[in-house]
Amino acid sequence: MTQPCRSFKDRFVGYLALKILQATCKSAEVDLHTVDKLFHKMVELEETMGEKKHCVVLAFTHRSIMDYILVKYITFNMCGMGLDMPLVLAGSELEDNNLSEKIERRKAHCDRHVSVAAFLEGSPSSDGRVNKLNKEAIKTLAQVDGDYDVTVLPMSMNYESVNDSEILLQATKTRSDLGLTKMFSLYWQICVLKKTKPTSLGDVRVSFGVPSKLESTADVDAAAKNLQAELERLSSSSSP
């Protein structure tokens, strides 16, 4: 709760994310050996913040419904590196015609850069493979209005086992960003029902890939291919 986040709400969301993970996972580990390039990129963005507005897109692999919780946990604990708690987007949300406006509104809730967590694979893949990425979503993010400089940070979530129980599926059935009310509701349900409906996910490890710029004039096919290759590399090399 002492993290330097913008608001008490973000701090409480981070606290609930931690409690949910403690109730459902044996461990959630961030692979710090892969953080170096991310750290240097965030320092670079920090130094140019006065010259250009930045949009940081966290491009995650999609393995479990619990991914939505992990996003909150990771960014809350890495806010010192410039990662504000993001707007989480998946599925049809990435094809919303008003996406640019959503991202602009999110700026009011970010201390530095606009942070977006984008699940570009669509439905979760439980067998560890990286599904085909949504090229239209990548194109939309590249062309976000507001004169933003878009930086993509590939990140992989690898689980020892995946067990998306009915509790998790019901709590996140909208596949949308989990706000404070939903996070609190999910934690309450897990605490009350986990004795009869286990939600253990074993261990999970999060790894970071090589950051890259996403230009508005970029070749979308090439950008999607490069990002997919990086996510596949991370997934194959960062098993718990």
Domains in the chain, number: 1
Question: Containing domain of residue 188, as a range?
Answer: 8-237
Please give the Cα distance from 188 to 3 (Å, whole number). Answer: 24
| Neighbouring C-beta atoms of residue 56, cutoff 10 Å | 26
Which domain CATH number covers 225?
Answer: 3.40.1130
In-domain check, residue 199: yes
Maximum C-alpha span of the chain? 55
Residues 136-172, buried b or exposed e (16+ Cβ, 10 A)?
A: ebbbbbbbbeeebbbbbbbbbbbbeebebbebbeebb
Q: What is the pLDDT of residue 194?
A: 60
Cβ atoms of residues 94 and 42 within 8 Å: no
Give, for 21, the enclosing helix (H) or strand (E): helix 8-24
Q: What is the DSSP string of 111-157?
A: SSSEEEEEETTSS--TTSPPPPP-HHHHHHHHT-TTTEEEEEEEEEE
Helices (H) and strands (E) in the chain, counts: 8, 7
In-domain check, residue 2: no
Rounded to 10°, the helix 135-142/220-237 angle is 110
Among all chains, which residue has been given the structure tokens 């094809």? 95
Q: What is the pLDDT of residue 81?
A: 77
Name residues whose C-beta falls within 8 Å of residue 30's C-beta, 6 or more positions apart in sequence: 74, 77, 78, 205, 206
pTM exceeding 0.75: yes
Q: What is the pLDDT of residue 52?
A: 76
In-domain check, residue 3: no
Please give the Cα distance from 84 to 141 (Å, whole number). Answer: 18
Amino acid, single-letter form, for residue 2: T
Among all chains, which residue has been given the structure tokens 């999910």? 186
In-domain check, residue 202: yes
In-domain check, residue 148: yes
In-domain check, residue 17: yes
Per-residue pLDDT of the chain in tens (240 residues, 90 and over written 9): 555 556 777 788 888 888 888 877 777 788 888 888 888 888 888 888 877 778 889 998 887 777 888 888 888 887 777 777 888 887 777 777 777 777 777 766 666 678 888 888 866 666 667 888 888 888 888 877 667 788 999 998 888 776 666 656 665 555 567 777 878 877 887 777 665 455 566 688 889 999 998 888 878 899 989 999 999 888 887 555
| Neighbouring C-beta atoms of residue 114, cutoff 10 Å | 25
In-domain check, residue 16: yes
Q: What is the pLDDT of residue 35?
A: 86
Cβ atoms of residues 117 and 69 within 8 Å: no
In-domain check, residue 1: no
β-strand partners of 116: 57, 87
Q: What is the pLDDT of residue 15?
A: 85
